[in-house]
Amino acid sequence: MEKRTNYTCEELFDMGIKFHHYTNTAYPLRVNSLAEYELHDVETIHQVVAKNISNQKEINLYVHIPYCKTRCKFCEYVVMNDPNEVNQDIYTDHLLREMEMYKQLMGDLPVVGYDLGGGTPLFLSKENLKRITDKIKSFNFKEGVTWSIETTPVIAANEPDKIQYVKELGYDRISMGFQTVSEKLLESLGREGSAYLYERAVKNIRSAGFTRLNIDLMYGFLNQTDEDFANTVKYTIAMQPEYVTLYRNRYKGTKLEKESQGVSLFKANRQYDIAYRLLKEAGYVANVGKNTFSRVDGDLGTSDYLTTRVVNATSYIGMGLGAQSFVGDYLAYNLGCDNHKMDRYFAAIDRNELPINDIADMPKDEVRAKALSVMFYFGYISMKSYQNRFNEDFRKVFADEINYLERNELMHFADEDTFILTEYGAHHIYGIIPLFYSQRSKEEMFDMAQRILNPEKGEAIYLEKYNRKQYEAPSVAADMVVLSKDQQQILLVVRGSHPYANYLALPGGFYTPKDDTIEQCAVRELEEETGITVKADELELVKVSSGQNRDPRGWIVSVAYKIVLKDDAKPLANSDVILCKWYDIKQLPELKLAFDHQQIIQDAL
pLDDT at position 543 over 60: yes
pLDDT one-digit tens code per residue, 465-486:
555 556 555 688 899 999 999 9
- More confident position, 495 or 81: 495
Residue 491 has a pLDDT of 95
pLDDT of residue 189: 44
Q: Minimal CA–CA distance to 65: which of 189, 152, 144, 172? A: 152
- pLDDT greater than 80 at residue 191: no
Same domain, 476 and 336: no
pLDDT of residue 184: 58
**370 has pLDDT over 70:** yes
Residue 67 and residue 195 in one domain:
yes
User: Are 592 and 504 a contacting pair, CB within 8 Å?
Assistant: yes
Number of domains comprising the chain: 2
- Supply the pLDDT for residue 457: 59
| Domain span holding position 515 | 466-604
For residue 463, the model assigns a pLDDT of 59
Same domain, 199 and 319: yes
* Domain final position from 346, 361, 376: 361
pLDDT for position 75: 52
What percent of the chain has a predicted confidence (pLDDT) above 70?
87
Residues 338 and 477 in one domain: no
The pLDDT of residue 456 = 64
- In 164-314, DSSP assigns E strands to 171-179, 213-219, 243-248, 292-294
Strand order in the sheet with 411-413: 380-382, 418-421, 411-413
pLDDT at residue 80 greater than cutoff 80: no
Confidence of residue 70 (pLDDT cuts 50, 70, 90): low
- How far apart, in whole angstroms, are the C-alpha atoms of residue 2 and residue 119? 45
CA–CA distance, 536 with 266 (Å, rounded to integer): 27
Dist. CA 454–CA 475, nearest whole Å? 27
CB 114 within 8 A of CB 154: no
Identify whether residues 129 and 277 lie together within a single domain: yes
User: For residue 446, is it within any domain?
Assistant: no
- Mean pLDDT, range 211-234, rounded to an integer: 86
Q: For the segment 145-156, what is each residue's pLDDT rounded down to a tens digit?
A: 999 999 999 899
Range 335-351 average pLDDT = 91
Asked whether residue 357 falls in the same domain as residue 475, the answer is: no
Per-residue pLDDT at 159 exceeds 90: yes
In the chain, % of residues over pLDDT 90: 61
| Structural domain contains residue 552 | yes
Tens-place pLDDT, residues 553-596 = 778 888 999 999 998 888 988 767 888 899 999 999 888 898 89
Structural domain ending residue among the three candidates 326, 361, 396: 361
Quick check: 188 pLDDT over 50?
no
Angstrom distances, CA of residue 327 to CA of 57, 129, 461, 470, 555:
11, 26, 41, 53, 57
Looking at 331, 361, 391, which one is the last position of a domain? 361
Task: Give the pairing type, strands 316-319 and 508-510.
Answer: unpaired
Specify the 3-state DSSP secondary structure of 118. Answer: strand
For position 248, which CATH number holds?
3.20.20.70
Residue 389 lies in a domain: no
Of the candidates 498, 475, 506, the one whose C-alpha atom is nearest the C-alpha of residue 583 is 506
Tell me, yes or no, whether 204 and 323 share the same domain: yes
Q: Tell whether 342 is covered by a domain.
A: yes
Query: Quick one: pLDDT at residue 258?
Result: 60
Span 228-232, average pLDDT: 87
> How far is the CA of 397 from the CAs of 23, 98, 457, 510, 545, in angstroms?
21, 38, 39, 45, 51
Report the pLDDT value the prediction gives residue 333, as an integer from 0 to 100. 95
Residue 588 belongs to domain with CATH number = 3.90.79.10
Residue 455 lies in a domain: no
pLDDT tens per residue across span 531-542: 899 999 999 999
CB neighbour burial string for 415-431, b if at least 16 within 10 angstroms, e if fewer: eeeebbbbebbbbbbbb
**Residue 311 predicted with pLDDT over 70:** yes
Above 90 in pLDDT, residue 266?
no
**How much is the pLDDT for 78?**
62
Q: In a 10 Å sphere around its CB, with 0-12 CB exposed, 13-18 middle and 19+ buried, how is residue 351 labelled? A: exposed
Q: Which helix (H) or strand (E) holds 101?
A: helix 88-106
Same domain, 342 and 488: no
Residue 506 has pLDDT above 80, yes or no: yes
Cα 597 to the chain's mean position, in Å? 33
Long-range contacts of 463-469 (CB under 8 A, 24+ apart): 463/498, 463/499, 463/552, 463/553, 464/262, 465/222, 465/223, 465/262, 466/553, 468/553, 468/554
Asked if residue 221 belongs to a domain, the reply is yes
| Domain contains 421 | no
pLDDT digits (tens, 9 = 90+) for 420-464: 999 889 888 999 999 999 999 999 999 998 888 766 655 565 556
pLDDT recorded at residue 465 = 58
Within 10 angstroms of residue 102's Cβ, the number of other Cβ atoms is: 19
Per-residue pLDDT tens digits for 396-408: 999 999 999 999 9
Give residue-wise pLDDT tens across range 95-128: 999 999 999 999 999 999 999 998 889 999 999 9
Confirm whether 375 is domain-assigned.
no
Of all helices (H) and strands (E), which one includes residue 279?
helix 265-281
pLDDT of residue 251: 47
What average pLDDT does the segment 172-198 reach?
68
For the chain, the average pLDDT equals: 88
- On whether both 488 and 344 belong to a single domain, the answer is no
Secondary structure (3-state) at 34: coil
